[in-house]
Structure formats: C-alpha cells, structure tokens
Structure 1
Amino acid sequence: MAELTGAQWRKSTRSGSNGGNCVEVANNLPGLVAVRDSKAPAGPVLTFSPTAWVNFVRATRTAH
C-alpha cells in the first residue's frame, strides 16, 4: 500500500504483555491511522480516518 510508505509503527499501549498478541498502530501518516497485527507485519492492515480512530479508542475505553 503506497499510502503506508513511511509508516512508523508502535505497539499499542493496550496490547499488554500477553505472549505476542499485540496490535501496532501508525498514526504519523497524513489523514490516516493504520493498525496491524504485530505477528504478521506483512499481512493485512486496517485503516481509519483520524476521527474514526479517536471514536473507536473512546468507545473501547468506556466498554470495560
């Protein structure tokens, strides 16, 4: 995906230390937030608008 060139991936602070089941997020791209499984960095990537990502994070914080 060309729009992911330059993505700076970081482990999600919510991933914890549960044996490698981690989510990585790249939010340094203009107008795009990308999410992937750390065990499959060459695998599929989900992309969100920054607004949709903020709404998702807020919803998950209040869900538990």
Structure 2
Amino acid sequence: MENQQSSSAPEKFAGLGLGLFILAASLLTLGEYFGIVPKDLKWGLPTIGIIWGVTLVVRAISRK
C-alpha cells in the first residue's frame, strides 16, 4: 500500500481559529490588566466572530 501524505487545507489550519482566539483573548486580558483596554469593554463575542471570519477566509483562500 502506498503511503499518501496529502495535507489538505482543513487539516493544515485545523486549530487556527481556536489559536487566534486564545491569542486575542490573552492580549485583550493583558491590555485590561495594564490599563490599555477599558475594563468595561465587551470584547468576547466580537472577537469570536472576527476570528471565525478570518479563519473561514484563510481556509477559502488556501483551497485555491
């Protein structure tokens, strides 16, 4: 049997969305801690939407 090593786009970027969200959430949390970002800012849901959208765009571009 041949060993096929094809790396498709979904496998290549499988954890991209989660990784970007964790990075963004961590940066925003640090910003709140150091007073750069206001503490009453609601950033959780918009950040999830942005990261999800970026992930979909990257996957769509990488398929071509």
Establish whether TM, by shorter chain, passes 0.5: no
Higher helix share: 2
TM-score normalised by L of structure 2:
0.28
Q: Which has the larger radius of gyration?
A: 2
Which is strand-richer, 1 or 2? 1
Q: Which has the higher contact order (CA 8 A, sep 6+)?
A: 2
